């Protein structure tokens, strides 16, 4: 294979890789929207129905699962935004490493802990580990006429 054929083949490979990245970016927003719509459905189930303890647990588990998926998708979205912002740096040999550096900076910032907007740490602690009431549980009432 001649050098010009090798270069042409490499250019085709690079274009295919860049097209794959762009396609991933395009479908990612649809995936976030899908997770949002599922969460909305669950919120409406909570709003419009009296839920048993089991149903409540099942819904919370599903919300937890969807929030984890959505967080992952949003992290990907941040990386993709950084790529889109700096992809013009791919054109110059001297600037390509800057693109990679910016993506690494974004990845590093994604690991930061969420800070509550309204709830205090104490509020969260009470939700996660409620204080148990002291004393004996109330006796069950027996209906008259039942043996």
Low-confidence spans in the chain with pLDDT less than 70: 133-138, 141-147
Q: Say how far apart CA 139 and CA 63 lie, in whole Å.
A: 35
Condensed to tens digits (0 to 9), the pLDDT of residues 46-82 reads 999 999 999 999 999 999 999 999 999 999 999 999 9
Contacts of 111 (CB under 8 A, 6+ apart): none
Answer whether residue 119 is part of any domain: no
Q: Output phi, psi for 126, to 5 deg.
A: -70, -35
Give phi and psi for 54, each to the nearest 5. Answer: -65, -45
Instruction: Give the per-residue pLDDT at 138.
Output: 66
Number of domains, the chain: 1
Q: Do residues 69 and 38 touch, judged by C-beta distance below 8 A?
A: no
Structural domain containing residue 93: 3-112
pLDDT at 111: 78
Alpha carbons 36 and 29: distance in angstroms, whole number: 11
Residue 16 lies in a domain: yes
């Amino acid at each position: 294979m001649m050098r010009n054929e090798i270069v042409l083949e490499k250019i085709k490979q690079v274009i295919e890789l860049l097209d794959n990245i762009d396609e991933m970016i395009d479908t990612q927003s649809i995936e976030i929207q899908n997770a949002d719509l599922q969460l909305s459905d669950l919120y409406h189930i909570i709003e419009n129905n009296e839920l048993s303890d089991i149903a409540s647990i099942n819904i919370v588990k599903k919300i937890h699962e969807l929030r984890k998926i959505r967080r992952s998708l949003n992290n990907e979205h941040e990386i993709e935004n950084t790529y889109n912002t700096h992809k013009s740096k791919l054109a110059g040999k001297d600037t390509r490493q800057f693109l990679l550096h910016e993506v690494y900076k974004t990845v590093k910032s994604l690991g930061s802990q969420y800070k509550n907007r309204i709830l205090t740490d104490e509020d969260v602690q009470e939700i996660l580990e409620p204080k148990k009431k002291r004393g004996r549980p109330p006796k069950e009432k027996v209906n008259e006429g039942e043996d």
